[in-house]
Structure 1
Amino acid sequence: MAHTPVNHPARPIYRAIGGLVGLYLVVFGVLGVIASAGNDLFAQDDTKVLGQGTNLGFSLLSILLGIVVLAGTVIGRNLDVAINQFMAYGLMVLGLAELAFLQTDANIGNFSILTVIVVLTLSLVLLMAGMYGKVGTDEEKEAFEKARLVL
């Protein structure tokens, strides 16, 4: 049995928070595409959007990830939970990888330290939304409550 709550009372709020993260990613990506129009895909210049370093490649990736998160939020039915958790882990890997290559030529996302902080924060918020947004039957909720009370 998973150790995540089923039918958490605040699950609509967590679902909305996941949707807001997806919306932020889309808005950031669109603004990034506008700001980096005409540059190379993985340009390493001083292009900044909302105070964060970006380039055309990372902006397009942000749009794609945001659309996937928004689609999961709209569909629901625990698909949003799986998408949010998967995207959270993916954003953590991306943020930590870019942190490792921040001051090198391998910084293909044109990240700044602020971009790393925002990406890692968004990943933690998505992970939280994924862990508390699970919907189940009344039997699953009852089984979770009984297991939780035993521990």
Structure 2
Amino acid sequence: MAHTPVNHPARPIYRAIGGLVGLYFVVFGVLGIIASAGDDVLAQDGTKVLGQGTNLGFSLLTIVLGAAILAGTVIGRNLDVAINQWLAYALIVLGLAELAFIRTDANIFNFSIITVIVVLVLALVLLMVGMYGKVGSEEEKEAWQKARLVL
């Protein structure tokens, strides 16, 4: 992407923020599995973890998402940028879909409004991290600077 900065000076901070988001998803998922142990996978009961509605299915999903984010953060080499951006888009779609179905039987992940807000905020944080974490050669950085200055 031509508009994505290359070798941003704060990229280590953005990478750490992405790792923290992944760690939050893993911790939330583990706590969710503990809280919803013995329930159905897609139970729509009052199970809450950290103030957010969840069930066993969403807890497992957050562990997988968090592990993918953490793996991308550890590996780096712009793999973290791709993972963060694509998962951010997927989380935005998930959050908006669950918002649309929050008071229906289609609320398969037992979302509450707080869960929707947290998922959407974390998705936007991941998108920001993905946009500013790109690493490249000095030639790519110079080409990006020249393209940016043309505007």
Equivalent residues in 2 for 1:35-74, closer than 5 Å: 35-74=35-74
Q: 1:4 is paired with a residue of what secondary structure?
A: coil
Root mean square deviation, CA, Å: 0.6
Q: In the aligned structure 2, how far is the partner of 1:57 from the partner of 1:150?
A: 48
Q: Are 2:75 and 1:75 aligned?
A: yes
State the Cα distance separating 1:2 from its structure 2 match: 1.8
Q: 1:104 is paired with a residue of what secondary structure?
A: coil
Q: 1:102 is paired with a residue of what secondary structure?
A: coil
Conserved in 1, the CA contact under 8 Å of 2:73 and 2:80?
Answer: yes
Cα deviation per residue 1:78-132 (whole Å; 9 max; x = unaligned)? Answer: 0000000000000001000100000001100000000000000000000000000
AA partner of residue 111 (structure 2): F
Conserved in 1, the CA contact under 8 Å of 2:95 and 2:119?
Answer: yes
AA partner of residue 95 (structure 2): G
TM-score by length of 1: 0.99
Q: 1:29 is paired with a residue of what secondary structure?
A: helix
TM-score by length of 2: 0.99
Q: 2:104 is paired with a residue of what secondary structure?
A: coil
Match of 1:95 in 2: 95
* Percentage identity across paired residues of the two chains: 83
Q: Are 2:124 and 1:133 aligned?
A: no
Equivalent residues in 2 for 1:5-24, closer than 5 Å: 5-24=5-24
Q: In the aligned structure 1, how far is the partner of 2:140 from the partner of 2:6?
A: 7
AA partner of residue 25 (structure 1): F
Q: In the aligned structure 2, how far is the partner of 1:144 from the partner of 1:43?
A: 49
Q: Are 2:143 and 1:143 aligned?
A: yes
Q: 1:136 is paired with a residue of what secondary structure?
A: coil
Runs of 4+ in 1 over 2 A off after TM superposition: none
State the Cα distance separating 1:63 from its structure 2 match: 0.2
AA partner of residue 114 (structure 2): L
Which segments of 5 or more consecutive residues in structure 1 lack a partner in the other structure? none
Q: In the aligned structure 2, how far is the partner of 1:105 from the partner of 1:150?
A: 52
AA partner of residue 70 (structure 1): L
Match of 2:25 in 1: 25
